[in-house]
């Protein structure tokens, strides 16, 4: 499988990438790790005329904590996140998500920025970035702006990125207090993508849940925050019964669950409930 | 056309290529290094695994142009001076293959696993080779080969550049 022809330009700075994007507009695509874009191009699902390779911009690859905020550069690979001592300590949900994503070779090359920008409905990162309440920092012709992960994913393969924009980093407040997190997925046996993926972060205060973030991927054409689950958890004692009751809301309001040969929409919604319960139980256990 | 310079198994090659040329086709069709196999072409099977700057990647999902300025190691570059790399030797001894199609990729992936974790558990080995499909062996002998390679590499470390 060979992609259609394109012009290939390597850039060394963000400014250079932005000016090329402004020049070529919708004819151009940003190439990060290439592990979403190149497969789509090989299938001729995408045929950009120009590829702007940002792989050589080293300053887009970082994981750092500053003033209570964790910043992850767009070109940070899944492997770097999986093995980050900083994240393993302060937000283990992200390494746990990374280690279940694709396979070793894919994690070596694929990037978090590329994955969120591609917005595959079965990708793993969307659930995690929604759960931690992340913002996607975007840089475009008018400068920099931050988009809440909840608003970033618009539809299948569609984000709120505008022409000329590129993803610069993912940032979020470092979890504080007594927290427990978990990512659990039903892995598609052939592709490894999430049939259903549930990311959970819980904050516990005095034995009760004071705050939570639940991100769901795979179920619908866009990842979502399970707000009814979060509402049910607020102030709850995190015992098995209350966790199961909260999890029963995992697909509330979802009318467009993805149905295909491997899993029907009803089955996905069922899995979402089961895996939300399991992820909640695991996260609650870790918070103790 | 784009000019690239890639160091493969210690030799630097200057080539003029189409930007859409995939690294696996560059290695096989331009450089004649056919040890790297083309399997699924969809980044799933791992038969095309090579090291680019020390990272195992699926070369069917990397443009040759992206490898410009990089150092690539393929299965042909693993043995040092006619002596098999300990991973190759272990696959031989434990018969970690049947038809051999997945073997170059499986060995490159194993080299990466052991480089990062010299003493992996069986679970870690199976997680590590998740991106490499074998349709013959059922993986049992492959896992045994990786375990054996880990032991070998503890007693006779591979050359530093491999």
Please give the tally of structural domains in chain A: 3
How far, in Å, CA of A181 to CA of A97, rounded?
Answer: 10
C-alpha distance from B88 to closest chain A C-alpha (Å):
19
Instruction: For residue range A149-171, list pLDDT tens digits in order.
Output: 999 999 999 999 999 999 999 99
Looking at the DSSP bridge assignments, the partners of residue A194 are: A187
Calculate helix-pair angle for B103-116, B140-155, nearest 10 degrees: 50
Q: Tell me the CATH number at B140.
A: 1.10.150.120
Interface contact flag, A39 B42, Cβ < 8 Å? yes
Show pLDDT as tens, one digit a residue, over chain A (288 residues): 899 999 999 999 999 999 999 999 899 999 999 999 999 999 999 999 999 999 999 899 999 999 999 999 999 999 999 999 999 999 999 999 999 999 999 999 999 999 999 999 999 999 999 999 999 999 999 999 999 999 999 999 999 999 999 999 999 999 999 999 999 999 999 999 999 999 999 999 999 999 999 999 999 999 999 999 999 999 999 999 999 999 999 999 999 999 999 999 999 999 999 999 999 999 999 996
**B36: closest CA of chain A, how far (Å):** 15
Query: How far is residue B148's CA from residue B53's CA, in Å, rounded to a whole number?
Result: 26
Select from A69, A195, A43 the least CA-distant residue to A135: A69
B69 and B98 share one domain: no
Quick one: B96 and B137 in the same domain?
A: yes
* A149 & A248 share domain: no
Q: Searching chain B, which residue's CA lies closest to the CA of residue A1?
A: B41
- A113 and A201 assigned to the same domain: no
Q: Roughly what angle, to the nearest 10 degrees, separates helices B86-93 and B103-116?
A: 120
3-state secondary structure of B90: helix
Q: Touching check for B141 and chain A: CB below 8 Å?
A: no
How many angstroms separate the CA atoms of A7 and A157, rounded? 23
**Domain membership flag for residue B52:** yes
At A131, which helix (H) or strand (E)? Answer: helix A125-131
The domain boundary residue, chosen from B77, B105, B126: B77
Residues A138 and A237 in one domain: no
> Does B13 contact chain A (CB < 8 Å)?
no
Q: Which two tokens stand for residue A258?
A: 């993805």
Q: Do the domain assignments include residue A15?
A: yes
Claim to verify: residue A112 and residue A182 sit in the same structural domain: no
Q: What is the pLDDT of residues B90-105, one digit of tens each?
A: 999 999 999 999 999 9
Residue A2, domain member (yes or no): no
Per CB-CB distance under 8 Å, the chain A contacts of B131 are 102-106
Q: Are residues A169 and A182 located together in one domain of the fold? A: no
Enter the tokens of residue B35.
């040890």
| Interatomic CA distance for residues A107 and A87, integer angstroms | 16
Task: Say whether A243 sits in a helix, a strand or coil.
Answer: helix
Pairing state between β A166-173 and A158-159? unpaired
- The answer on B73 and B6 residing in a single domain is yes
Rounded distance between C-alpha atoms, residue A55 and residue A58, angstroms: 7
Domain that holds residue B73: 2-77
Query: ipTM more than 0.85?
Result: yes
Same domain, B30 and B90: no
**Distance between CA atoms of B64 and B20, rounded to whole angstroms?**
8
A48 token code pair: 């950009």
SS3 A8: strand
| Of B19, B49, B109, Cβ closest to residue A8 | B19
Domain with A260, as residue range(s), is 178-287
């Amino acid at each position: 499988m060979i992609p259609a022809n394109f012009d290939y330009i390597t850039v060394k700075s963000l400014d250079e990438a932005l000016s090329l994007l402004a020049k070529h507009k919708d004819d151009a695509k940003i190439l990060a790790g290439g592990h979403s874009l190149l497969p789509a191009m090989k299938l001729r699902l995408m045929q950009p005329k120009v590829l702007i390779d940002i792989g050589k911009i080293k300053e887009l690859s970082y994981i750092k904590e500053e003033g209570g905020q964790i910043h992850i550069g767009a070109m940070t690979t899944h492997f770097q996140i999986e093995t980050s001592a900083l994240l393993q300590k302060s937000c283990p949900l992200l390494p746990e998500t990374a280690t279940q994503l694709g396979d070793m070779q894919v994690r070596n090359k694929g990037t978090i920025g590329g994955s969120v920008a591609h917005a595959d409905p079965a990708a793993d990162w969307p659930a995690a970035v929604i759960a931690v309440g992340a913002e996607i920092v975007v840089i475009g012709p008018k400068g920099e702006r931050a988009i809440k992960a909840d608003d970033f994913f618009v539809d299948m393969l569609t984000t709120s990125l505008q022409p000329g924009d590129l993803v610069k980093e993912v940032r979020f407040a470092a979890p504080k207090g007594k927290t427990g997190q978990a990512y659990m997925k039903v892995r598609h046996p052939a592709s490894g993508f999430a049939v259903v993926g549930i990311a959970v972060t819980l904050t516990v205060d005095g034995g009760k849940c004071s705050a939570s973030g639940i991100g769901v991927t795979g179920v619908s054409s866009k990842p979502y925050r399970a707000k009814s689950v979060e509402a049910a958890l607020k102030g709850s004692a995190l015992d098995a019964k209350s966790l199961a009751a909260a999890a029963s809301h995992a697909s509330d309001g979802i009318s467009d669950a993805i149905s295909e040969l491997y899993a029907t929409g009803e089955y996905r919604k069922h899995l979402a409930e089961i895996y939300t319960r399991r992820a909640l139980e695991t996260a609650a256990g870790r918070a103790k | 056309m784009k000019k690239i310079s890639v160091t493969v198994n210690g030799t630097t090659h200057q080539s003029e290529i189409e930007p859409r040329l995939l690294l696996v086709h560059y290695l096989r069709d331009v450089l004649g290094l056919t040890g790297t196999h083309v399997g699924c072409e969809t980044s799933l099977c791992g038969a095309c695994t090579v090291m680019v700057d020390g990272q195992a990647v699926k070369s069917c999902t990397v443009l040759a142009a992206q490898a410009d300025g990089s150092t690539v190691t393929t299965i042909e570059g693993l043995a040092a001076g006619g002596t098999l790399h300990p991973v190759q030797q272990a696959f031989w001894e434990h018969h970690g293959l049947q038809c051999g199609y997945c073997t170059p990729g499986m060995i490159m992936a194993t080299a990466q696993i052991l480089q990062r974790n010299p003493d992996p558990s069986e679970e870690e080995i199976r997680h590590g080779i998740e991106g490499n499909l074998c349709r013959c062996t059922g993986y049992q002998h492959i896992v045994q080969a990786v375990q054996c390679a880990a032991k070998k590499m503890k007693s006779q470390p591979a050359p530093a550049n491999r």
